Chain A
Amino acid sequence: MIKKESYIGKSVKRKDGPEKVTGSAKYVGDLKFGSMLYAKILRSKYAHAKIIRIDTSKAEKLPGVKAVVTGKDFPQRMGLYLLDRTPYAVDKVRYYGEPVAGVAAVSEEIAQKAIELIEVEYEELPAVLDPREGMKEGAPLIHPDLKNYEHVPAIYPKPDTNISNHFKIRKGNVEEGFAKSDYIFEGEYYVPQIQHTPIETHTAIVMCDSTGKFTIWSSNQSPNAVRKILSHSLKIPMTKIRVLGPYCGGGFGAKAGVNIEAPLIPLALKLRNKPIKYVTTREEEFRDTFVRQGMYAKIKTGVTKEGRIVAQELEMVWDAGAYNEYGVNITRAAGYSSAGVYDIPYMKTDSYCVYTNKPNGGPLRGFGMSEMHWAIEQHMDMIAHKLGMDPIEFRLKNIQRDGSTNATGQVLKDVGIEKCILRAKELIGWEEIKGEPKPELSSGKVRAKGLACMIKAPAMPNNAASSAIVKFNDDGTVALLITAQEIGQGAFTALAQICAEELGVPEDWIKVSQPDTDYTAYEWQTVASRITYSAGNAVIRAARDAKRQLLEMGAKHFGVPLEELDVYDGYVYVVADPARKIAVKDIALGLTLPDGSGWGGPVIGKGVFIPEGVVSFDKETGQSPKGVSHWTYGVQAVDIEVDVDTGKIDVKKVVAVYDIGKVINPDLAKAQTEGGIIQGLSTALFEEMKFDEKGKLLNPSFVDYKIATAAELPEMIIDFIETPLEDGPYGARGFGEHVMVPTAPAIANALYNALGIRINTLPLTAEKVRKAIKEKYGI
């Protein structure tokens, strides 16, 4: 017998490592073509205003300018879930920074000069900057035509309001639940809009040739979605749009769906056969690409004397910005996840996506979960303290277990949250915390621990599909053709491991393609932490299909039944007699029979995957027996030190434990977690987009909008639980975004445990903490 070594669970080195450390990896900004033109975009100086007049004549006359376009050149609405967005403002602008006109010129400098020559006359309109005001009757309407916008059936815009989606959970009668409770606890929490800040800003090159075929190179997470959305709005077949995805320099959700490709389309239509390049400046990146939505949460929780949660009423009002084409689904995801990790018999949730005259809300790592858990996880700690219970003890009384139901009434199984909590408790060295802390302020520093849990499901259409093609080369090496994007998460490495495992060839024989929608196999989008799960399943099936073809040829060659053969280390061999073997390379393109004739043909495997049995939520109650493909649970515990004099929080240690079903590549899973912890820490302590009273962003730079640097590095201890998922590849669950979700509430809970201070608005700046210390202790 041959002893097989498995690639699953092995820390294979990143496949993209050598290219990325040598500068060989090409990003869109690194591409250069002959006769390339450069685009710049004129952006609105008002948050909400009618466009009275645009005069582009001076810009058009500037030598070197090749084309100028405005909203009227491409007025079609587009979007992923709700078609509410145009590439350039039509008739009115809805946020400070919205594209108003675009220029293509022979250089960036000339394009920049040209946009400064465009004259726009505006008539300012009253702006909505707070979604709580915006959802009130009589508020200025940002999209008066909302009722006419196309949208997917799963979202529910309210005509003649600023509410672009209202997702409801009605699980039992919540009032009945409150009546059965001994105590009612209420709380309000807030998260501001924040930015993804990928280090590579959005970059695209678009060309339209003389036959009307578009070629688009884009730093994007969603090549197939870009093609679909553009094809729909341009009313041209998908054969006329080719989207290529070179390496993507960080996405975090910002590069999902259609982004800056769209404003280049009308320019490319006017300038045939000229590739037009657009590189977003850092200032534009902050203001004019997707941001994480702000959110106001109000929670009311009913609890028994014994500490059992009976009922929860939650209202989430999302500050979703000027266009909600993607944000509507974040609102929905938070709604259906609104039990968090808890088993709550009676629930009422209202999640409102509200238009505001601010930057566009969109997906950011966590997809509503960071925002929602900021509220829920602090609220749970607050209740535990009020009941005089240890926060972990309180959680263990209330978490979901096998047989529990979640917000949508789904009966859960294979729930691993208890194991995560117990492991995190052990790793952080938790000591029981009860009641209000009594800190020793005289030492100037106070240290404490805190913990928060999280849950997340891939937020995607029920039928979001993946596919893969496995194609052998003459020498036995393999091309894995997929449209999943390598945005840094390590998808190419994990998928190559899966492919090699199934085929029985060495992992370094697998070359993973970069997305090219003309040739690579369909992928819905690289979002929702779904690639290892969904594309992973497609790769397994494609590799098994290819392997079956190898075995068929082996069976013919050896004259034995197919079942008696296997493939390992690049050979098809007879299991009972491994000395009888034939190299994969000798049959990869077909078998040569002893008489010299050919048989079979080049080996090409295909595999597809759609999560089965995902049923839509009921519109009025949000109930569904299985509304999402699966859930992933996790916990983070932190150990912080607060400087009493300055209010500065120093995060000393973070413990993260996630139940990810099966760890495909331990190093990559840990690396993802480390990155997420720091991103979570950064949002907890520093990040907030600040606006003036007119809706203008005040801090669109790394000087004024700080993100964590190496100087903030805490000790990190990471562990995984493996509760297999029935339809996950080798049991793997979706994982990646989850890692930044509980960091901020865990820090906030630790802050309370240190000083008895609860700050319910992100971020936990030194200034806020200092002020709270002064209010509480008078020092």
Chain B
Amino acid sequence: MISVRFKVNNEWVELLVHPHHRLIDILREELDLTGAKEGCGGGECGSCTVIMNGQPVNACLVLAPEVDGAEILTVEGLSKDEELDIVQEAFIDEGALQCGYCTPGMIMSAKALLMRNPNPTREEVIEAISGNLCRCTGYIRIVNAVLKAAQKARV
């Protein structure tokens, strides 16, 4: 077991974890942050996407020791009480979700894009979410939601 100290959703946590455990295990099993979902365990589907030090990462590909000192943002950290983040609101307004399983990962990929590029083109949005698989929506409303969130953020 090793000790890691890192920030999750703006709060410091310190944990003893197995070195071969992954960030997704820590979030879901240790911290009860079940928003990030496991869809493949191999970095292929993007449903476990969270933001680590400002970058979108597949939480299933990050090993526990790498988390030490990092700053992690999960979907649970986006809303404050019942006040939603602009991306979350846009997903609801555009109907950009169906079964909802890929949604947290999709939202975090979108959020990471808007953090580094507040003014993305349609192509940039598509590129940013092309690592996130969705079998329900056909993606179009997701793309529209991200563009709408960007537009709203600019106003």
- Which residues on A are within 8 Å of B, measured CB to CB? 11, 13-14, 16-23, 25-27, 29-30, 32, 196-201, 247-252, 279, 281-282, 487-490, 667-668, 671-672, 674-679, 701-703, 707, 709-711, 713, 716
Contacts and interface: CB of A to CB of B under 8 A. Distances in A.
Interface in B96-140: 97-104, 107, 125-127, 129-140
Contact of A675 (B40, B125, B137): B137
Nearest to A716: B140
A199 B76 contact: no
Nearest to B98: A488
Interface centre among A25, A27, A248, A490 (most CB of B within 10 A): A25
Contacts of B140: 674, 713, 716
Nearest to A31: B34
Given A16-B100, A675-B98, A702-B44, A201 B76 contact: no
A199 B97 contact: no
B72 interface: no
Contact of B130 (A200, A247, A710): A710
B107 A21 contact: yes
A282 B34 CA distance: 18
Nearest to B89: A21
Contacts of B33: 23
A700 to B, nearest CB: 11
Q: Which 5 A-B pairs have the closest CB atoms?
A: A23-B35, A249-B101, A488-B99, A20-B100, A488-B98
A447 to B, nearest CB: 21
B103 to A, nearest CB: 5
A710 B120 CA distance: 15
B95 interface: yes
A439 to B, nearest CB: 29
Nearest to B32: A32
Contact of B101 (A198, A279, A701, A703): A198
A675 to B, nearest CB: 4
B92 A17 contact: yes
A199 B139 contact: no
B103 A21 contact: yes
A199 B42 contact: no
Contact of A200 (B42, B76, B92, B99): B99
B54 interface: no
Interface in B43-87: 44-45, 47, 74-76, 78-79, 84
B138 A199 contact: no
Contact of B95 (A14, A199, A250): A14
Contact of A17 (B32, B91, B131): B91
Chain B interface size band reads: 35 or more
B92 A18 contact: yes
A27 B107 contact: no
A14 B98 CA distance: 9
Given A249-B100, A710-B126, 11 more contacts: A19-B100, A21-B88, A21-B104, A25-B100, A199-B134, A201-B39, A249-B37, A488-B97, A672-B98, A702-B45, A707-B135
Interface of B: 28-29, 32-42, 44-45, 47, 74-76, 78-79, 84, 88, 91-93, 95, 97-104, 107, 125-127, 129-143
A199 B126 contact: no
B27 to A, nearest CB: 10
A21 B37 contact: no
Nearest to A11: B95
10 contacts: A23-B34, A198-B101, A249-B37, A282-B40, A487-B99, A488-B97, A489-B98, A675-B135, A677-B138, A702-B45
A743 to B, nearest CB: 11
Contacts of B41: 281-282
A22 B34 contact: no
Contacts of A17: 91-92, 95, 97
Contact of B99 (A247, A281, A710): A247
B57 to A, nearest CB: 17
B138 A21 contact: no
B138 A716 contact: yes
B36 to A, nearest CB: 8
Contact of A23 (B93, B104, B125): B104
Given A17-B97, A250-B101, A671-B98, A711 B130 contact: yes
Contacts of B76: 22-23
A407 to B, nearest CB: 31
A701 B42 contact: yes
Nearest to B123: A711
B97 A21 contact: yes
A70 B17 CA distance: 34
Contacts of B129: 710
Nearest to B85: A21
Given A22-B78, A199-B39, A671-B141, A709 B133 contact: yes
Contacts of A200: 37, 39, 99, 101
A709 B34 contact: no
A26 B98 CA distance: 14
Nearest to B74: A23
A199 B134 CA distance: 7
Contacts of B45: 199, 282, 702
Nearest to B44: A702
A668 B98 CA distance: 9
Contacts of B93: 13
Nearest to A705: B44
Contacts of B97: 14, 17, 20-21, 488
A508 to B, nearest CB: 13
A677 B42 CA distance: 27
Contact of A711 (B39, B98, B126, B134): B126
B141 to A, nearest CB: 6
Nearest to B91: A21
B30 to A, nearest CB: 11
Contact of B42 (A22, A27, A279, A703): A703
Nearest to A247: B100
B138 A713 contact: yes
B68 to A, nearest CB: 22
Contacts of A703: 42, 44
Contact of A709 (B36, B104, B130, B141): B130
Nearest to A702: B44
A204 to B, nearest CB: 15
